[in-house]
A and B are shown apart, each in its own frame.
Chain A
Amino acid sequence: MKHLGVEPAHAGAGAMVRLFHVSKSYLAGSWALRDVSLELGKGEFVFLTGPSGAGKTTLMRMIFADERPSEGQIIVLGRNVSRLSPSAVPALRRRIGVVFQDFKLLPRRTVEENVGLALDVVGTPPRERRARVFAMLKRVGLQHRRYHHPLSLSGGEQQRLAIARALVNDPEVLLADEPTGNLDPDLTLEIMDLIADAAARGTAVFVATHDHGLIERYGRRVVRLEAGELAEDTPIRRPML
């Protein structure tokens, strides 16, 4: 077990994500993840870092049940992902917000429709949907672009749109793969504040990033992967700025 003996910041507040000796192999003898164990508590904010190919994306995909572990158990929001039936996967995903590295936006839908998708899936009434989408777009500074299509937005705007879609449903777990990769420094801080705000409201947050400046600036718990193994799990160093 590669847990380095660091207690999560919100230990005791109820683990939202638990990994027990999780390994993932796509080819015999080659491990994308190997024997990783860790916990993520309610409202906890964790930076997931490591070089490309270290297993960050694989780990995130297993948490939102897009992949199953080859070995070990993953408990997300009380559900064992390793044993989850295909019909139970959508219900779990509705409680998880995901910001994908390639955004995964619908090019033929407007900005408003893209954000509203997460609310459509849970059947949010139209008036509430409109209000929540508008409020979310305002928070990411895209309210004036709500009738545009994603392809007419800049890279940074698309990234903010992806974050808006992930957060609009107040998810219990947020997984963000390089959420600030295309943003300028000012916008990066605004977006990170949004994510930190979600954590403060109880969302368990995993942010995968290569940005050491960001990690230093925020001083949160850091989980570092190397060649699929847990190389470091350092605790929170100082409160969020």
Chain B
Amino acid sequence: MNQRWFARLRYFLRTAWSGLRESPVTGSVSVLTIALCLLLVGSFALLVANMERILDRFGEEFRVSAYLEDDLAEADLAMLRERVAAAPGVDRVDLVTKEAALERFRASHIGRAALLEGLEENPLPASLELVLAPEHRNAAALERLVGAVGGLPGIAEFGYGADWVSGYHGAVTLVRGVAMVIGAVLVLATLLIVTNTIRLAVYARRDEVSILRLVGGSRTFIAIPYLLEGAVQGLLGGLLGLALLVTLFHLALPVFSGSLELLLGYVSPSFLELRACAGLVSVGAGLGVLGSAAALGQGRLGG
């Protein structure tokens, strides 16, 4: 029995290989179509992945500053610090004294010492810096935190980029949604093109299909080599699309590095993770198999 399965497998592989060699034009069209589709889908995935990465990095560095009233007593400060540390979502609380705040200001404004000239005393307030747990680094959690500790005596005001966080989160969600819709449309369009391309190949070999039926070939026996051909074409298309994406990414990076640095700050754009790359190639193989299956379904293979 195993020998028979091995023989059939051998036949399927041999026939699929013959099919690929005999239809180089239709095969190349399928491979290129899948490659271009995946290049576009991959570009969107790359954009979304980098936007999410920026948000993650931002979250890691994100602090909420609770600015303190100037005349806060030591004992009150200690109690306040304890109560703030106990608030939901707070991972750690650091005290930034007035002197430390001034030092930071100086360090971040080198060459602009004139800004501080003429001041008789340090105008910067002391503050408590709240480091948030990762799952609380979003706009809604921030609102909840401010609601919980905002009214505590000794806190003058809060400083955090809630609007920025919320806006950026919305932008990522929007880009991800648009990318998914465009990706789905591209995948469907590619499926249609690949289906029609493979249908041409099936049509060109209709005599062969008919003869296979006459000598007792079942529907599955006839279909498997075509599905294998589709899988190989899809795999090649996926690999080609990925190679194009890598090439374009590395060609475009130096050209836009200045603008990106300005836009993203210290976050440098990076390529898709290995798992996402494998997923992209798998989508290509899947497109090839689905295209073949659809083409065979539209043709008449008989019983």
Task: Give the interface of A toward B (CB within 8 A).
Answer: 64, 66, 85-96, 98, 100, 104-106, 108-109, 117-118, 120-126, 129, 165
Instruction: Say yes or no: A94 contacts B216, CB within 8 Å.
Output: yes
Partner among A108, A121, A122 whose Cβ is within 8 Å of the Cβ of B212? A121
Q: How many residues of B contact A (CB 8 A)?
A: 25
Instruction: Say yes or no: B8 contacts A98, CB within 8 Å.
Output: no
Query: Shortest 9 CB-CB distances between A and B: which pairs?
Result: A86-B303, A123-B4, A94-B216, A93-B216, A90-B218, A125-B3, A89-B303, A120-B11, A123-B8
Distance from A70 Cβ to chain B, minimum over Cβ atoms (Å): 20
Instruction: Say yes or no: B214 contacts A121, CB within 8 Å.
Output: no
B58 at the interface (CB under 8 A from A): no
Within 8 A of A (CB), among B200-219: 207-208, 210-219
Instruction: Say yes or no: B213 contacts A90, CB within 8 Å.
Output: yes
B164 at the interface (CB under 8 A from A): no
Q: Given contacts A87-B303, A89-B303, A90-B221, are A117 and B215 in contact (CB under 8 A)?
A: yes
Q: Please name all residues of chain A whose beta carbon is closer than 8 Å to the beta carbon of B10 when the two chains form the complex.
A: 126
B266 at the interface (CB under 8 A from A): no
Instruction: Say yes or no: B7 contacts A124, CB within 8 Å.
Output: yes
A90 to B220, CA, bound (A): 11
Q: How many A-B contacts are there with CB distance less than 8 Å? A: 75
Distance from A105 Cβ to chain B, minimum over Cβ atoms (Å): 8
Instruction: Say yes or no: A121 contacts B221, CB within 8 Å.
Output: yes
B6 at the interface (CB under 8 A from A): yes
Distance from A138 Cβ to chain B, minimum over Cβ atoms (Å): 21
Instruction: Say yes or no: A90 contacts B216, CB within 8 Å.
Output: yes
A109 to B6, CA, bound (A): 21
Q: Please name all residues of chain A whose beta carbon is closer than 8 Å to the beta carbon of B210 when the two chains form the complex.
A: 104
Q: Given contacts A106-B208, A108-B18, A108-B22, are A121 and B217 in contact (CB under 8 A)?
A: yes
Distance from A80 Cβ to chain B, minimum over Cβ atoms (Å): 15
Q: Please name 11 further chain A to chain B contacts, defined as beta carbons within 8 Å, in addition to the given A94-B215, A121-B215, sorted by A numbering.
A: A64-B214, A91-B216, A93-B213, A98-B215, A104-B210, A106-B208, A118-B216, A120-B11, A122-B4, A124-B4, A125-B6
Q: Please name all residues of chain A whose beta carbon is closer than 8 Å to the beta carbon of B256 when the two chains form the complex.
A: none
A74 to B7, CA, bound (A): 33
Instruction: Say yes or no: B7 contacts A126, CB within 8 Å.
Output: yes
Q: Mark B86-127, 1 if CB is under 8 A from A, else 0.
A: 000000000000000000000000000000000000000000
